[in-house]
Amino acid sequence: MRRIALFVFAYGLWLLLALPVNHWSVYAIGGVIAILAAIFFGGEFTHRPSSFLNPRRWFWAVIYIPVFLWHMLIANLDVAFRVLHPLCPVNPGIVKVQTHLKTDVAKAFLANSITLTPGTMTVDIDEDILYVHWIDVIKNGEDIEANTKAIVAKFEKYLRRIFE
């Protein structure tokens, strides 16, 4: 079942990316690649593939996209300000943040959301602790709760509704 779910997801994504093409070979190549991905990586895709059919999860996924894009825009402006500022107020370092997400897929999406937001990058995940390289660690210092609120909380509430 997991391999079938991965095939449908991968081929659907391929079709979305290659839609304007009208040549059959593009669709055939996409099918072959989706089948190979399902064979080799299907066992790692998800433990409950039927959960992806839940409309409530799709609703929150659609809501999450503009929320993520908004936070990414704000982070881009913050990094641009720091780069263009004459004193370049950059105080990089690695901070510890805590997540309440339980599934590996949710933690991976959280780590990727953090990394795709400019000024932060997830370095390591250890159970429910994430180590994040942050552009300005002086804001909160070593306070795990304050760092978690600043970095993780804005994404975690949506990802919990999508993946758990």
Global pTM reads: 0.73
What are the residue boundaries of the structural domains of the chain, listed by start? 2-50, 60-163
Query: Mean pLDDT over all residues of the chain?
Result: 85
Q: In what order do the strands lie in the sheet with 129-134?
A: 93-98, 129-134, 120-126
- Measured over the CA atoms of residue 43, residue 110, residue 69 and residue 81, the dihedral's sign is negative
- The predicted-structure confidence for 103-153, as pLDDT tens digits, reads as follows 888 898 999 999 998 889 999 999 889 999 988 887 666 777 888 888 888
92: which DSSP letter?
A: -
